[in-house]
Each structure stands twice: as C-alpha cells, then as structure tokens.
Amino acid sequence: MPTDDLSTSRRLGEGAVGIFDSGIGGLTVLKAIRQALPAERLLYFGDNAHVPYGPRSLEEVRGFSHGITRALLDQGCKLIVIACNTASAAALTSVRQAYPQVPFVGMEPAVKSAVEHTRTGVVGVIATVATFQSELYASVVERFGVGVEVLHQPCPGLVKQIEAGEFDTPLTESMLRGWLEPMLARHIDALVLACTHYPIVRPLIERIVGPDVRVIDPAPAIARQVKRVLEQAGQLAAHDAPNGTLLWTSDEPSEFAVMMTHIGMPRMEVRAGKWVEATLHLS
C-alpha cells in the first residue's frame, strides 16, 4: 500500500488542491488532475454518507458543499475543485462569494465542445435531475447552444448503480438504453457526460451509442483549467515538491477503497470524515 508524506503534518492539506464529490465520481476528475499536475498534493473527499446528491434540493447540496469547502480550507488547501456537476450547479457561485480570496474550479456541462463537434445539429446531455434544474445549466445552453438542438436527459438512479459497482450489468445497460436510444432516434452525434460519475460507465455508454456519437467527458479540460489557475496565481507546486494523495469518505472507508480499485486506481488508504450536524471533520 503506497504511503504518503502528508500524514505527519498537522494540517494535512497545506498547499494542496482540495477536490470533492458526492462519492466516487470525482475520482475521474482527480485522475485527470494527477496526470496534468504530478507535483501537486491532492486531497479528495467523497460525501458517500449523502450520495446521491442528484435527487436532493439545490439548497441542501449547497449546504453540504459549504461544509466540505470549510473542512478542506481548514486543512490548508490552496484551491478547491468541485468535482461534481450537481454541487457546482448548486454552490459554485455561493462558495465563491463566501471565500473571495480562494480560487475555485467547478464543473460545467461541456455543451460548447458538443456544439463545436456536431454535424447533425443535435446534441445530447445526460446529468442529474438537480443539475438540469440549475441556473448554471440554463446559462450554458443559452450561451453555447445557439443554432443547435440540445436534448437533455436526467438519469435518476444511475449514480446509485455506479456507487454499487454495477458498471456493466443488465440493469445498468437497460436503464442507459432507455435514456440514450430516444436521443439516438433524434440523431444526436455528440453526448455530454455532465455528471462526474458517468465516465465510469463510459465503455457501456459507447457500446450503446456506437462510433458515430462523440462522448464528451470534461475532466481533462478541468485539469487544464486547474493548471491555468494555479499558474496565474503563481501557486504551482515546484517540480520536486512532495506530492501525495489523501482520501476521505463520509461513509465506510474500506468500501470506498474497493471502489477505487474497481475504477483502476491504485490501492490507497482512505480515511473516515465525520459530519457533526453541518460541520465536517477531516483528520
């Protein structure tokens, strides 16, 4: 089991990039950030005690997001990545207002890339119910969806399937077919994965939509954005800086560790984060 060099310091995330999601989905973003920024320390929190966020109200998700942000900042993080479309839609504006001195990077449905790619003039977006209810989604479609048809399809229950490790089971496939086939019938040629859990089932999605539909995962673009923001702030870690990854979950750490290996991540120690009312404790 790889050890990390962070556990000895008192504030475990001093100078680190803090990343969070409702569960394992944000690990798809963490992977891309690790690839783009090998020298950075990364702190990850998966709020598995509250997953899924998608069916909850934006207000409730905003509350969790503020609690997690506070906890990551208390650990010394220099930048926060909201590696969850739902939490970004619910809370990005308000955490920026609450902490104007902190750089935040959030997820935004990659409608722009889909529109740049389409030849049929029809693109699809899949996300959680809450993401589609947000002002952020409406503004993305208004800004980038001009002149094309943007079909949006919530996928209730898909995050639960993924958190249960059901990446390629008959039930997950039939759920996805039920959502994707009507969009295929309307000739989409680009599909935006606007939930960070969905890239985990990308092979299944690609099998269903076939080679003529481009599947778009914004994680590499988010990683580039994190790099740009750190560069601009003069806060990139030095090449020889001690990097490392620390992980917390608010649910059972051993289950989280197993899920990580299922999605091709090395086995690492996972710590338990504890919610006490609206305050999250990471230690």
Out of 16, 19, 33, 51, which residue is the one contacting ligand DGL (CB under 6 A)? 51
Out of 22, 118, 172, 249, which residue is the one contacting ligand DGL (CB under 6 A)? 22
Give whole-number Cα distances, 67 to 43, 168, 228, 282, in Å: 15, 34, 26, 11
- Whether 17 and 217 have beta carbons less than 8 Å apart is answered as no
Out of 69, 75, 85, 172, which residue is the one contacting ligand DGL (CB under 6 A)? 85
Provide the H-helix boundaries in the chain. Answer: 27-36, 58-74, 85-98, 111-117, 129-133, 135-144, 158-163, 170-185, 202-209, 219-232, 253-262
C-beta of 155: minimal distance to ligand DGL in Å?
Answer: 9
Q: What are phi and psi of 270, to 5 degrees?
A: -120, 130
Count of residues touching ligand DGL (by CB under 6 A): 16
Residue span binding ligand DGL (CB under 6 A) among the ranges 32-40, 81-89, 138-146, 239-247? 81-89
User: Which is nearer to ligand DGL, 109 or 244 (by Cβ)?
Assistant: 109
DSSP 83-101: --HHHHHHHHHHHHHH-TT
Query: According to the binding rule CB under 6 A, does residue 30 interact with ligand DGL?
Result: no
C-beta of 108: minimal distance to ligand DGL in Å?
Answer: 11
Rg (CA), the chain: 18
- What distance in Å separates the CA atoms of residue 281 and residue 283, rounded to the nearest whole number? 7
DSSP 167-183: SS-HHHHHHHHHHHHHH
Q: How many CB atoms lie within 10 A of CB 186?
A: 11
User: Which is nearer to ligand DGL, 221 or 236 (by Cβ)?
Assistant: 221
User: Which is nearer to ligand DGL, 158 or 183 (by Cβ)?
Assistant: 158
Residue span binding ligand DGL (CB under 6 A) among the ranges 5-13, 34-42, 49-57, 132-140? 49-57
Local structure of residue 199 (DSSP, 8 states) = G
Query: According to the binding rule CB under 6 A, does residue 161 interact with ligand DGL?
Result: no
User: Which is nearer to ligand DGL, 162 or 209 (by Cβ)?
Assistant: 162
User: Which is nearer to ligand DGL, 69 or 196 (by Cβ)?
Assistant: 196
Query: Is 84 considered catalytic here?
Result: yes
Q: What angle do CA 221, 25, 207 make, to 5 degrees?
A: 80
C-beta of 137: minimal distance to ligand DGL in Å?
Answer: 11
Out of 84, 141, 222, 265, which residue is the one contacting ligand DGL (CB under 6 A)? 84
Give the active site residues. Answer: 84, 195
Contact footprint for ligand DGL (CB under 6 A):
21-22, 25, 51-54, 84-86, 128, 131, 159, 195-197
